[in-house]
A and B are shown apart, each in its own frame.
Chain A
Amino acid sequence: MDIDIRELIDDEDDENQEEMTAQKVLENVERAWLNEKFSPEILPHQTDYVECLLEQIKGMEGNLAKLSKTDPKVDLHKLELERIKFVITSYLRTRLKKIESFCVSVLEEEATRSEEDKYLSPAELQFAKEFALNADNHFDTILRHMPQLYNKLDRNKKIIEPNLNSFVFLKCNKHIDSVIIKNTLEGQEEEIVLEDSSQHLMPYSSVAEFVKNGTVQLI
């Protein structure tokens, strides 16, 4: 029996009501992985793409089980699945790490966002809330044993925020007319043009919106 990935893809298209091949979905997840790795803050979640890939993997694994072990393509398919799983887990782990590091600020910002443009997936949001709660409980337990003078913790001092001005390497996917860069050294602003497929180094805050809408890829 022959595995037909195109069948799987057609199913996906019907569900998502958009023309997107499994290959495109994979490319999207790979791009999201790199962006997430290099951006200082947590980026809007790509759960739709990740879920879609996971379904593909599941379907593929089901089909592979039916194939004979001597078929030369079985190994290739298995290898590819492992590669995709690696990207997905690395992507999700990077996000969890950011949630753990910046838990309080991530939750505060998430609360100000509308239902449509949440940055965390429902599962991540639940994780963040539980993590914050557990951290609070932990601090409370410890502080109870401290001398009275020191047994209060200023909530504001607990907040760790990502440095949005940190420098990132990036590549433009499209021509961008104007990017404003704040020059802290001279206390003024610079405006530059980013040409298509040019590569740059600059503070993340200048290009954050372009990273989120996909016109800029972090490298």
Chain B
Amino acid sequence: MMHPAEIEFLAENEIIQIVPTFNHASHVHLICGSYGPFRAGLPLNVPIWVALNLRQKKTCRILAPDWMTVDKLQERLEEEKASKFFTQLPTNYYLEITQMLLTVAGEDIPQGNDIKTAVKDLWDLRIAKLRSSVDLFVKEGRVQASLNHLTPMEINSVRPVFPDTLDALMTLHEHINSSDDREDSSQSSGATPSSTSFSLSL
């Protein structure tokens, strides 16, 4: 089981651009990689957790990622509406990154509120899609699904209830099958419950 904060933790490893307000000539050799040099006014790439830390100390400005504009997000939204499947997003952590950057560096990002709404719309749309496919999946009694381009946070929104439901269904069916076998050998009767008798509504 994954806590949403742990997914945010993973999102913090993504790289974004900052503009430092201080000078530090040498690279900082972190275990996860080397970053630098820090020159006031010159943008450079760092992991989000570094960016947030520096921003909180007011020693840098965060540049919004390319996809984080109202226009770009609207495009994504239209694409998502038009597609039957989940579309590929520019990052696996769009919701978390938006949330973190707007919370810590709201002033650095133009049209913050509109971006928040657009990201929320995108999330709602994808989650609605996810729920209807979960419903279909369970009703059809399948055992494998492709979930391309689904992000960790989206997956986590149906966990643990979705996999647990499937586990329970499988266990029930195993019991039904084994008791069917016994009945078949003794009196060959008994209604076979079909998989359609179970349904899941989330």
Contacts and interface: CB of A to CB of B under 8 A. Distances in A.
Interface of A: 2-6, 22-23, 26, 37-38, 53, 56, 60, 72-73, 75-77, 79-80, 83-84, 86, 90, 163, 165-169, 181-187, 190, 192, 198-203, 219
Contacts of B150: 199
Interface of B: 1-2, 6, 9, 22, 24, 26, 28-34, 38, 49-50, 53, 57, 59, 141-150, 152, 155, 159, 162-163, 166-167, 169-170, 173-174, 177, 195
Among all A-B residue pairs, the 9 with the closest Cβ atoms:
A167-B163, A5-B29, A185-B141, A199-B147, A201-B145, A73-B28, A202-B144, A167-B166, A183-B143
Contacts of B141: 185-186
A165 B159 contact: no
Given A185-B169, A185-B173, A202-B144, 18 more contacts: A75-B57, A76-B50, A80-B49, A83-B49, A163-B167, A165-B167, A167-B167, A169-B155, A183-B142, A184-B173, A185-B170, A192-B144, A199-B146, A201-B145, A201-B147, A202-B145, A219-B152, A219-B155
A189 B146 CA distance: 17
Contacts of B173: 184-185
A163 B30 CA distance: 40
B124 to A, nearest CB: 21
A184 B31 contact: no
B167 A166 contact: yes
Contacts of B31: 5, 22-23, 26, 53, 56, 60, 80, 84
A181 B144 contact: yes
Contacts, number: 103
Nearest to B30: A80
A185 B143 contact: yes
A184 B152 CA distance: 27
Contact of A72 (B22, B29, B152, B167): B22
A166 B30 CA distance: 38
A190 B144 contact: yes
Nearest to B195: A185
B2 A182 contact: no
A79 B49 CA distance: 9
Contact of B32 (A2, A38, A72, A80): A80
Contacts of A163: 167
A53 B6 CA distance: 20
Most chain A CB neighbours (cut-off 10 Å) among B9, B163, B174: B163
Contact of A198 (B28, B57, B148, B159): B148
Contacts of B166: 167
B29 A6 contact: yes
Contact of A73 (B24, B174, B177): B24
B57 to A, nearest CB: 8
8 contacts: A60-B31, A75-B57, A163-B167, A181-B144, A183-B142, A185-B141, A199-B150, A200-B144
Contacts of B148: 198-199
A11 to B, nearest CB: 14
A67 to B, nearest CB: 12
B24 A72 contact: yes
Nearest to A86: B9
Contact of B159 (A22, A56, A169): A169
Contacts of A77: 28, 30
Contacts of A183: 142-143
Contacts of B174: 184
Contacts of B28: 73, 76-77
A190 B59 contact: no
Nearest to A169: B155
Contacts of A169: 147, 155, 159, 163
